[in-house]
Structures are given as C-alpha cells and as structure tokens.
Structure 1
C-alpha cells in the first residue's frame, strides 16, 4: 500500500508539472493613415512577448510624383500611459526626391517590450524641408488610437 501511495504521489507531481503552460501573445498589425501632405500604407508591426518588428511601409507625398527636399525624416511612436516611446525612425539629408519613401524595418528585443493592451496610440511624425516652403514642415499621421478605434477582442482577457 505504501508503494502505491508513493507511486501515486510521484505521478501526481509529474502530471501537475505538465500543467504549467505559458501563454504567448503575438500581434500583427498592418497600419495606414494620412495627413495633409502624406499617405502611409502597409506599415506593419509584429509584437511578440519579448520582441517587436516594425516597418515595410510606403510613405507617399499626396499628388506628387517627384518632390525635391534638403531634409526628410519620420519617427513612429507608441503612447503608453501618457509617455511616448519611440518604435522606429529614419531620415534622408541632402538634395533628394522624397515623394515616395520606404520606411525600412527595425527589430527590438529585451525586457522593456510593451504589450498591445498597454498601447493607447501609435502615430508617425513626418518632417521635411524643401525650397517651396519656409523652414521645416512637420505633420502627424495617427495610425492607431485606442479611444477612437475602441476595444477589440485582442485585448480582452
């Protein structure tokens, strides 16, 4: 009887160890948006538990096939608890045609990776300086807004 009890206890310990499955959250977003002068299409974000990847977007100046500028940059931010966190950025300096730009990609991993349910907003800031305008120009493209987009099944528990 003692041997059966020891065997059952051992079996119970083994089976209870198998019950500790860890859940992994993976999110994929294809985001787009526009401002007065710019249109962003196909910007992708993949969020895993310990890393994220962002990019592959196409940024186009509305109504322009060619637009020369001395400077162009973009930065993508996520707002978490009221604080901006930079996700991705890129720039071009010197005389360049900025009418159609690819965002390129970036990967990040580590302990400070945010989860989708923490994000209140994702947006891009586009800056450029050309001969047609005075000084640097800047526009904001909102890609995701939790308040505007509402609750989704992605952040339901």
Structure 2
C-alpha cells in the first residue's frame, strides 16, 4: 500500500512539474506574440522602435521614430503609412501626415493608431499571422520633387 501511495505522489509531482513548465512556456510565447517592437530602414530614412501590439480586440501600431538619414534639408511635407501583409492582403495599420514650417525632419514621432482587429477570411488576426510589415514614406525634396520609399523592417 505504501508503495502505491509513493508511486501516486511521485507521478502527481511529475505531472504538476511538466504542466507548470508547459504553462510557463505558453505564457511567454503568448506575451511575445502579442507585442512586437522593430526597426526599419530605406535609402533615406530609418524607423526606430516601432510597436505593434494586440490587446483585447484591438491592434495598436505606432510610437516609433523616423529619421532622415541624408545630408541637407527637405521641404515641409511628409506622409507615413505602416502596412501589414496578411494572407496576401494589405492592411493599413497606421498613417500620419506632417506639414510644418520646420525643414529638418530628424526625429519625427510616427504617432500611433488603435483599431479593431481586422478580420481576414472571417478570422481575427494575431501578430503571428502577419507575413510582412513595412512602411511607406513620401516627402518633398528640397528641389520640390515628390519622393517615396518603402521602409523594410527587421
């Protein structure tokens, strides 16, 4: 009888230990999946510490910083969009326009946007469903020419 009780106790402890480890792993994975911060770059621009986060039924995008990498100034217009590609569909997560008399566009805050989680093929997305995300930036050069670049993320 003592032997059966001992085996039962040891088995129960092993099950609790294994279950606890799996729960901790799932919790870490869920936390990692629900929040993502990244950087990006293009020829003339860098994007730093841009956040994507899913909480409850909302997706949050923003709080990044754009920096113009080239020498010289640009004119007083800039437009920025963050795009996610999910199952070959493009979803705009956030957009901002900045018109200012300031001609130095270093360290521009991207702002942020919160929206209801988009439905793709009848299902709410998760961060792991996003195949790609990138920024599109447009600005006017000092020569008055409209320029546009894709900011690849990593």
Tell me if TM exceeds 0.5.
yes
User: Which of 91, 97, 100 is the equivalent residue of 1:91?
Assistant: 97
| Superposed CA RMSD | 2.4
1:43 is aligned to: 50
- Higher relative CO (Cα under 8 Å, sequence separation at least 6) belongs to 2
**Deviations 1:8-58 (CA, angstroms, capped at 9, x unpaired):** xxxxxxxxxxxxxxx995511111011000011110111135111111111
1:70 is aligned to: 76
Aligned to 1:117, the other structure's residue is in SS state: helix
Alignment CA distance shift 1:130-1:63 (3 Å): closer
Structure with a larger share of its residues in helix: 2
2:108 is aligned to: 101
Aligned to 2:125, the other structure's residue is in SS state: coil
| 1:126 correspondence with 2:137 | yes
CA distance in 1, matches of 2:134, 2:118: 23
1:30 is aligned to: 37
Please, which runs of 5 or more residues in structure 1 have no aligned partner?
Answer: 1-22, 145-157
Please, which runs of 5 or more residues in structure 2 have no aligned partner?
Answer: 1-25
| 1:139 correspondence with 2:149 | yes
Alignment CA distance shift 1:140-1:49 (3 Å): same
TM-score, normalised via structure 2 length = 0.68
TM-score, normalised via structure 1 length = 0.66
